[in-house]
Structure 1
Amino acid sequence: MKKLSKILVFSIVFAIVYSCGTRKNTFVNRNFHALTTKYNVLFNGEQAFLKGLKEIEEKHEDNFWKRLPIEPITFNENTIEAPSFKPGTGFDDSEEEEESKPLSHFDKAEEKAVKAVQKHSMNIDGIERNGKIDEAYLLLGKARYYTQRFIPAVEALNYVISNYPKASLIYDTKIWRAKANIRLDNEKLAIETLNLLIELDKNEKSLTDTQRERAHTAMAMAYEKTDTIQKVIEHLALASRTFKNKEQSARNMFILGQIYSELDRRDSARMVFQKLADTRRAPRKYRIRANIELAKNTENDSASVLVLSRLKKLIRNTDNREFLNSLYYQAGVLEVGRNKIDNAIEYFNKSLRAKKNSDYQRTYAYEQLGNIAFDKQEYVLAGTYYDSVLGKVSKEFDTEKRIRRIRRKNKGLTTLRKYEETVKTNDSILKVVAMSDDERKEFFQEYIDKVKKEDEERRQQLLNAQNFGSSFGSTSLIGSNAKGGKWYFYNDQTIQFGKVEFQRVWGNRPLEDNWRLSDKDGSLIAEDDTTDSESEEEKVNPKYELATYLDAIPTKEEDITKLKEDRNDALYQLGLIYKEQFKNTELATSNFERLLSIEGHKQSDLAINYHLYQVYLNANDEEKAKKHKDIVLSQYPDSKFAQIIREPNVKLVEEKKTDEVLNRYKEIYIIYKLNKFEEALVEIDKFEPRVKDSNLIPKLALLKALCIGKCKDQESYKKALEFVSLSYSNTDAGKKAEEILEQLSKSKINPIKSP
């Protein structure tokens, strides 16, 4: 019996050893290696491959504002790296492997595929007897594809097609080879091979629905690279017909709708998006986005009410919280189309406050709010929103046409906001300057009382938070991160309050022994003397001191004069901006009329009256236009403005006078080139009033600005350039001034150029 057992054991061991060979074509050998390949090496490789795919899906973020890529992966050619293992790594346990960085999931899948081929291939007499080796080569090709090594991927896939034409996965292999060729810019070759595959399937019906979907998807990818948009539409429609791969089919359908929308075939786009939105098998993100795209392609008619109602229903569904930013935004767009501006503003603000959001999404909401403010002639607010757009946009989208348009639009608004702020600030200061001493004290005391009240309310809120934390410990109601217990230091809010309260009572104390000693002279601050500490803190706090504000009031006559001059200059510039850039008659006349009403300001009366004449003339207010026209003609009869009014169609050219002006300009320019900037500035000031109707006036103004830049501060230089830029915007001098201003904004160095 014992001998029989030994014989049996020996026979089993012999059978196992015999079946491990890859050179004998026996039933046992074939099945042993097929099973080992499938359930050991390939299983582990496929699991690693699936983990890699999941990792890609988690990292990939779609921008639904643009046409989606057909394959949800973005390859970056600059990051292509060779795998960190050498061929044969891990095949021989006795071989000492070199130290390297951890392998990616796709590298591991490739390693397992290579191992399956090397250890379990049964290529006997030129025929592969292991039916799972073609799967190993396919896994090898796919792993190399996702590590952006497309040429080696094609080689692996070609090996299967050449040597195993009857392999079970031959069609999948051909599709993957076509995809790799597309990535290598061999899209024509890919189209040819896929066409043969699809034509074969029409005759023999040999492809499964899943394979057919993949083939048409790959064809759409290839035609997209050749810009054959009609073929892309055709194959995307065929690829989304059977819906076997829910993710890819829904994606194909969504892209199809986007293409129709780009081609302005809105009826077709709405039909596709409606179908996708109603397809329960499609992933939620595509169904929600389809509803949003449906709204984008809906005209502002009765249909928009139904679409808006549909969006509101989606907003109320708590399962759609991650899409609220886009849902709110699109609802706002529909409300703008229906002229429900207040509702639209509310939706746009909700879109900005949505928890799950992206900076690119926010740029659209800020842009819409900016457009609404601009249409309401709230230019300062509009500029703030456009600033937010430019602040949120990334380098990737910085050159977009939309962003360039906003940047141009905001350029004038930035200058406008600066002047509006100057007028507001200087008016406030001058108002206080004009007050009596008692009025000033009363004014600032009210402000101090307001500040104290606000500080006390904030302090009370912190105290309430501390009491709340003490009562409930570290429960989730107060957002504590503690794991359990009711101890003080388990509560983040009470810790923060403690820090604030400590600094309020004790100030900033160094971490050292005897920290409570006030001046290190042994005098100890009493613990219970917090009331006195608080009152003392209030007395020494500058923002509670009346003298802090009274001392800041300008008293020197030159400072007050400078405030008035800056305010008046800002009013004039605002009038020009509203008149020339924004064509806003009301605000232009408001600033010009106010400047005329200011006593002691006569420097710009001629120009202001002329601009008001033009504004009222364009507004068909003949009575007011005549009033300012008469002022120009009667008080400044020899000015160029008067000549323009009298003879609007006559060119302002007098050859003799022009020659005199040109010669004098050349003389002053020579003085400037000799670096005698102050002397040139004096000569310009003398000569400028005599120049009434010359086309050299803009160049003279620019030369004056350049002289200011050489002998005065940068702020004065900028103001002079802005005057030239705004007053003579259509001339070469105005454009050059604009160029210099742009350079100044980019560099602190004054790039002063000759006119």
Structure 2
Amino acid sequence: MKTSAYKYIVLFGGLGLTIACSTKKDNFVNRNYHALTTKYNVMYNGNNALTAGVADLKTTLTDNYWEVLPVERMQRPVEEMEPTDKRNANFERAETKATKAIQKHSMYIGGSERNPQMDEAHLLLGQSRYYDNRFVPALEAFNYVLYKYPGSSRIDEVKVWREKTNIRLDNDGVAIKNLNQLLKEKGSSMDEQIYSDANAILAQAYIKTAVTDSAVYVLKKAALTSKDNEKKARYNFILGQLYTQLKQPDSAFASYQTVIDMNRKSPRIYVIQSHAMQAGQFDYKKGDTLAFMEKYRDLLKDRENRPFLDVINHQVGLFYDKQELNEKAIEYYNKSLRKKSADKYLTASNYRNIAEIKFEEAKYVNAGKYYDSTMVYMDFRTREYKRIKKKKDNLADVIKYEAIARNNDSILHIMSLPEAARVTYFEEYIVKLKEQEEILRKKMEAEAKKQAAIAENAAKEQNSLGGDDGNLFKNGSDLSGVKRGGGGSNDFSSLSGGRSKGGDSGFKAGATGSAGAAGAVGGGGAPGTFYFYNPSTLAAGKQTFKSRWGSRQLTDNWRVASEMRNNAPAADEDAASTDDVADGGKNADGKTADKKEKTIEPKYTTEFYLTQLPKDQKVLDSLAKDRNFAYYQLGTIYKEKFKEYERAADKLEKLLQNNPEERLVLPSMYNLYKIYEIIDPAKAQVYKDKVLSQYPDSRYAEIIKNPTSDAVAQGSPEAIYASLFKRYEAGEIRELIEPLDQYIETYTGEEIASKYDFLKAKVTGRLKGLDEYKKALNYVALTYPNSYEGKQADEILKKDVPVLEKLVFGAKPTSYKIMFKLDANDPKIKPLTEKILQFIKDGNNNSITLSNDLYNETENILVIHGLINRLAAVDAVSILKDYKSYKVAETPVIISTEDYKVVQIKKNYVQYLAIQ
């Protein structure tokens, strides 16, 4: 009986469930079944996926605190994602769940939806698409809710999400209008968090449209009404940024302080960045520096701030930088760099600030390296990147000329000293060199001891944990003869057959810090603590060995090999001497030996340096000339490119004191006049008087007397170059040689000089051929490597010149020409030209033309073009010679079009005649 009842219950229950699963019947069971299934199954999982996705965004995406933060975080669009970036799978899962809820549980019957969960399903669908950066489908989902479910309990939230989507689609005007209308109609009657979100997204629209004051007004409302502490902290931080834009520092400071006062209620990153923003407002001259540093010391000590030490150390570095305490500033910038920040611009700022310090200290090579590192972490599309790149490129010239000036100055100074003074100079230098090497040696030994101590402590910790397994040697091993830790008594005599007990075997434990390592070997330490496994102790040991023994070849009897090579007759004596040294300076009786190693490194002798000094006066004159030109270049670079006027004046003053060539005197005086106009008007007047009195007819004097005159404008380097270039384009090639040489001499050392030299290279190529063109280009590329012309010359040398060099006679002809080579001023050119033109006219052939082509500095070539084959060219020559209308007496030469190109490029007319 019971079995039959169960059968009926199961049967009718299954039938009821089948009926309830239908989405076409509008009854109580169906509605509630689909509503409950949607809410507690599909929608529950979908909402969880969406929440997880938003949480991932907050934890994984890095904000750019150097700009105004967006109100909400979003993952990057597909086109902006890096190859290693992955899309957030949670949003795709949320969309899948929302779609499933709609497809399987929607009950659209009789023109209305009977499942009360469908508005939330469409809202979830829109939200998941929104976070996945698919804004048009998201907008479609939100509009569907507004159209189909106007009475939904979540209609206000849907309207806010729709306007968020409109802002993403750049429909900012529409979003502002709709949000203002919503807030006006509903106001505070809305749910408090939705009201906050509406104001926040309205603020985002105002920020996008640059209406900052309106953005501040509505964002304050959002911050006050938000129940979410993360959002409240973010809104207040953005308020601080907006107040900074509005130049209201007090209000900005207060907004940042609000975030700081939230303490653990706020994500820690907002607190730290708020401290950093407040530091940006600090007055480093008048502010309370003691209070500032006390605050930052506390921040550095706080364990909670360890993930943000990059930001904190950067701010401390900035503080010391502003105080002009360069060493401390660099120390903290480096600490910030060691944290390996995810903020690329922060890393770039650290490198840039160190580069600026190095530049100010005239350490140009180091500055250049730091500028290189700066650009690695910067967006190459930004204006700052281009400015730094230009400065780095300019710095290449500074490094080059500073090195020339410094080296040549040193050599010339030494050569100006008497012989005895030179010897004294190098003796003092050698003493300093030894002191520096001793300091370096001690520093390396100290570091080695430190590393050995760390290794020993690590070994002890491992032993204390009861772990001998895996050790290289264990307690009670056969190596018990090796002494354990405790100072300089440790040695490897039991392993290497050392010659004396307690002596220095060459691996002096006390000197290299290997005592701990040796103890670890005998006492069950980890393999990594063995002497030769520790890079620091090994490096220090090598340095100690080298300082004691010098550079020795890896041979048998290495201790005596060097002495035997240097003094063969005294081999036995030297061997004994060096053995004594190897035994720690003790002889067989244990007494200290007086003998010392006889070999001395060349760098510790004065002869090593004296023999390298130049003796030839021509060489010294060349050094002085290069030094003077370097000083001039440095002066103009500092003045024009870096605006470092005091440094520029110093270089030019030194130049004038060094009796420079005449061509550098006038431009140096004029540049000093222009520099001192800015920094010292009294000195400017001195140099103005010098230019006007000593060079009254010069271009510089004309500029000083009447800087706005037409004559000066027409006589400017740029105007002169423009006129010369026009003449070049017009074919006045020979006429440019003399003026180009003149202006190159006039503008030597000025930035525009590269343009004149490059134009001269082109003229040289046209007149003298490929070989001379190549030499001229090479000069431009080497002399002006960082100018546009220098780079262009280098590119031509690499790409075009090799192609031209491969051109040879004998290429397959496409057409032919007839040449008549004559002196450029030969009176025969005119009648010959008239006869050929008459020949062309009589032939009534429009494809045949005549040109008077420049060949070299003195000769031209009259060329008849357009002859289709060699036979046609032979016929034309015959007609010109034999017909009484022409009777041309000059010797014609038939040549293919391809070979004529070779003749003009390589200027090898004679060679062509030789092969005909």
* Correspondence list, 1:553-572, <5 A: 561-572=621-632
Q: 2 CA distance for matches of 1:649 and 1:196? A: 63
Change (3 A) 1:630 1:147: closer
1:707 Cα deviation from its structure 2 partner: 3.1
Matched to 2:262, the amino acid is T
Please give the per-residue CA displacement for 1:252-276, whole angstroms capped at 9, x wherever unaligned: 2221221121121223222322222
Matched to 1:315, the amino acid is L
Matched to 1:572, the amino acid is Y
1:251 Cα deviation from its structure 2 partner: 1.6
Matched to 2:244, the amino acid is S
SS of the aligned residue for 2:247 comes to coil
Please give the per-residue CA displacement for 1:21-65, whole angstroms capped at 9, x wherever unaligned: 334444444443333323322232223323322333334211111
1:589 Cα deviation from its structure 2 partner: 5.5
Contact preservation (8 Å) 1:380, 1:416: no
SS of the aligned residue for 2:362 comes to helix
1:335 Cα deviation from its structure 2 partner: 5.9
Matched to 2:35, the amino acid is A
The aligned counterpart of 2:403 is 421
Matched to 1:680, the amino acid is I
Contact preservation (8 Å) 1:181, 1:189: yes
SS of the aligned residue for 1:356 comes to coil
> 462-471 or 327-336: which moved more?
462-471
The aligned counterpart of 1:90 is none
> 249-258 or 541-550: which moved more?
541-550
Change (3 A) 1:562 1:536: farther
Q: 2 CA distance for matches of 1:649 and 1:71? A: 57
1:714 Cα deviation from its structure 2 partner: 6.0
Change (3 A) 1:653 1:446: same
> 445-454 or 58-67: which moved more?
445-454
Aligned residue among 714, 717, 733 for 2:780: 717
The aligned counterpart of 1:52 is 53
SS of the aligned residue for 2:41 comes to helix
Higher gyration radius (CA): 2
Change (3 A) 1:598 1:650: same
The aligned counterpart of 2:268 is 284
> Do structure 1's residue 267 and structure 2's residue 250 form an aligned pair?
yes
Change (3 A) 1:637 1:598: closer
> Do structure 1's residue 238 and structure 2's residue 238 form an aligned pair?
no
1:282 Cα deviation from its structure 2 partner: 2.4
Aligned residue among 366, 370, 374 for 1:392: 374
Change (3 A) 1:239 1:717: same
1:674 Cα deviation from its structure 2 partner: 7.7
1:570 Cα deviation from its structure 2 partner: 0.6
Change (3 A) 1:104 1:647: closer
RMSD: 5.7
> Do structure 1's residue 326 and structure 2's residue 330 form an aligned pair?
no
Matched to 1:223, the amino acid is Y
Change (3 A) 1:383 1:116: same
Q: 1 CA distance for matches of 2:697 and 2:106? A: 99
Change (3 A) 1:570 1:20: same
Q: 2 CA distance for matches of 1:155 and 1:540? A: 89
* Correspondence list, 1:581-600, <5 A: 587-588=647-648, 590-598=650-658
Matched to 1:218, the amino acid is I
1:126 Cα deviation from its structure 2 partner: 3.7
Contact preservation (8 Å) 2:320, 2:329: yes
Contact preservation (8 Å) 1:612, 1:625: no
* Correspondence list, 1:526-605, <5 A: 561-578=621-638, 587-588=647-648, 590-598=650-658, 604-605=664-665
Structure 1 unaligned regions, length at least 5: 81-100, 506-523, 723-736
Matched to 1:20, the amino acid is C
Contact preservation (8 Å) 1:589, 1:612: yes
Matched to 2:280, the amino acid is K
> Do structure 1's residue 123 and structure 2's residue 108 form an aligned pair?
yes
1:78 Cα deviation from its structure 2 partner: 2.8
1:6 Cα deviation from its structure 2 partner: 3.6
SS of the aligned residue for 1:707 comes to helix
Q: 1 CA distance for matches of 2:325 and 2:447? A: 40
Q: 2 CA distance for matches of 1:427 and 1:358? A: 44
> Do structure 1's residue 248 and structure 2's residue 223 form an aligned pair?
no
Change (3 A) 1:460 1:747: farther
Change (3 A) 1:534 1:362: farther
> 541-550 or 278-287: which moved more?
541-550
Please give the per-residue CA displacement for 1:200-255, whole angstroms capped at 9, x wherever unaligned: 323xx542212112222222233333333333222211111123122222222221
SS of the aligned residue for 2:262 comes to coil
Please give the per-residue CA displacement for 1:467-500, whole angstroms capped at 9, x wherever unaligned: 55774566889xxxx9984446667996463997
> 50-59 or 249-258: which moved more?
50-59
Contact preservation (8 Å) 2:71, 2:234: yes
1:67 Cα deviation from its structure 2 partner: 0.9
Q: % of aligned pairs identical? A: 28
Change (3 A) 1:381 1:140: same
Q: 2 CA distance for matches of 1:102 and 1:279? A: 33
Change (3 A) 1:744 1:287: farther
Q: 1 CA distance for matches of 2:164 and 2:347? A: 35
Matched to 1:292, the amino acid is A
Change (3 A) 1:190 1:276: same
Contact preservation (8 Å) 2:743, 2:756: no
Aligned residue among 669, 677, 698 for 1:640: 698
Contact preservation (8 Å) 1:474, 1:485: no
SS of the aligned residue for 2:63 comes to coil
> 542-551 or 328-337: which moved more?
542-551
Q: 2 CA distance for matches of 1:674 and 1:588? A: 39
Q: 2 CA distance for matches of 1:570 and 1:279? A: 59
Q: 2 CA distance for matches of 1:419 and 1:552? A: 22
> Do structure 1's residue 497 and structure 2's residue 535 form an aligned pair?
yes
TM-score norm. by structure 2 comes to 0.59
Change (3 A) 1:588 1:350: same
Change (3 A) 1:703 1:173: closer
The aligned counterpart of 1:158 is 143
1:742 Cα deviation from its structure 2 partner: 6.6
1:404 Cα deviation from its structure 2 partner: 4.8
Q: 2 CA distance for matches of 1:161 and 1:217? A: 21
How many residue pairs get aligned? The number is 675
Please give the per-residue CA displacement for 1:566-605, whole angstroms capped at 9, x wherever unaligned: 2221123234445666676764554445444547966645
The aligned counterpart of 2:277 is 293
Contact preservation (8 Å) 1:122, 1:129: yes
TM-score norm. by structure 1 comes to 0.70
Change (3 A) 1:260 1:5: same
